[in-house]
């Protein structure tokens, strides 16, 4: 019987790291702001199940999107499955609801910390399609705070940890 059980370390590690992200966001929600110089880049698949974003954002970001939680965000809510946040895009207020399973990367450039996640498979065993994985999420290069994403990456230099580096080949 125990021969039928296989430990899926990749899945368990991804789940644990998503819980880490959830705990960080819950702390920020409790405090009401990101402490000190901490700020977060969160990339997610816009078409993933459970993602709720306004149509104007989905039109601009049909595959994936990166948001920045730094100074201008409100109503950050966290539950076991995901988070919600209110941001402004080119002066428009937008409420985003994002399941943790839709998140593909999480970074805190202030401490050079980052995580990259594999897409979570749906009930059919299929991962969400990501045909444009190498395309920059921010088409116009601006974040909700009006800073350019590339300026922040150069300035902050966060390292993203990919779990692929630890997998047996």
Place of tokens 């995580």: 115
For residue 18, what are the domain limits? 7-166
Q: Indicate the number of domains in the chain.
A: 1
CATH number at residue 94: 2.30.30.220
Look at residue 131 and tell me if it is in a domain. yes
If phi over 0 gives left and psi between -120 and 50 gives alpha, with beta otherwise, what is residue 112? left
66 within a domain of the structure (yes/no): yes
Q: Encode pLDDT of 6-45 as tens digits.
A: 888 888 899 899 999 999 999 999 988 888 889 999 999 9
Q: What is the pLDDT along the chain (169 residues), one digit of tens a residue?
A: 567 788 888 888 998 999 999 999 999 999 888 888 899 999 999 999 999 999 999 999 999 999 999 888 889 999 989 999 999 988 889 999 999 999 999 999 999 999 998 876 655 544 444 443 333 333 333 344 333 343 444 444 445 555 555 555 5
The 3-state DSSP class for residue 114 equals strand
In a domain, 79, yes or no: yes
Q: Is residue 77 assigned to a domain?
A: yes
CB 146, CB 140: distance < 8 Å: no
Q: Is residue 2 part of a domain?
A: no
């Amino acid at each position: 019987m125990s021969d039928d059980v296989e430990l899926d370390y990749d899945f368990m590690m991804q789940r644990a790291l998503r819980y880490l992200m959830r705990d960080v966001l819950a702390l920020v929600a409790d405090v009401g702001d990101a402490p000190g110089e901490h700020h977060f880049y969160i990339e997610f698949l816009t078409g993933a199940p459970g993602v709720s974003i306004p149509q104007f954002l989905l039109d601009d970001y049909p595959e994936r999107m990166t948001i920045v939680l730094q100074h201008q965000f409100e109503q950050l809510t966290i539950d076991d499955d995901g988070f919600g946040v209110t941001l402004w895009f080119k002066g428009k207020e937008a409420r985003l609801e994002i399941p943790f399973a839709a998140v593909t990367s999480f970074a805190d450039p202030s401490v050079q910390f980052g995580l990259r996640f594999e897409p979570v498979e749906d009930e059919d065993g299929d991962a969400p399609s990501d045909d444009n994985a190498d395309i920059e999420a921010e088409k116009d290069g601006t974040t909700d705070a009006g800073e350019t994403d590339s300026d922040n990456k150069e300035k902050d230099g966060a390292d993203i940890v990919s779990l692929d580096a630890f997998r047996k080949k």
